[in-house]
Amino acid sequence: MFKKMLFGLLLACSFSAAANIVVIVNPSNTSSVNAEELVRIYTGRSNAFSAVNLAESVPLRAQFDEKGVGRTSAQLKAHWSKLVFTGKGTPPAELASEEAVLEFVANNPQGIGYISADKVTSAVKVVHTIN
């Protein structure tokens, strides 16, 4: 009985740890972003925005790579390495924290980034949610 209760508690905690990820832009930006456009932006096939990424050490980065872009972090790193090597692209700048992403997007009309849904402020506009 105790093991079942403990398992249930651990399972509930693991679901709450996986927060919704939101894609944010500057409030002055009127563009819309769907899942396909998000993939194009974060794989270098669209330069409609000035994209930023979280640092690889931030756990939300791996979640975004898999759920938002549909690739593992290793696959995206290899993808960007090839583009950089051939001179066909530059990966999004990496920022150290969600707060830094918020600040960048709030201060850049073409900025786009992602953060946990619970970190959203009125300084940015949510254009896409990733569950």
Give the angle 63-69-124 at the CA atoms, nearest 5°.
75
**What pTM value is reported for the model?**
0.85
Model confidence pLDDT, tens digit, residues 4-50: 444 444 444 444 455 799 999 999 999 889 999 999 999 999 999 99
CATH code for the part of the protein at 19-130: 3.40.190.10
Domain ranges of the chain: 19-130
Provide the residue type at 9 as one letter. L
Model confidence pLDDT, tens digit, residues 59-113: 999 999 999 999 999 999 999 999 999 999 999 999 999 999 999 999 999 999 9
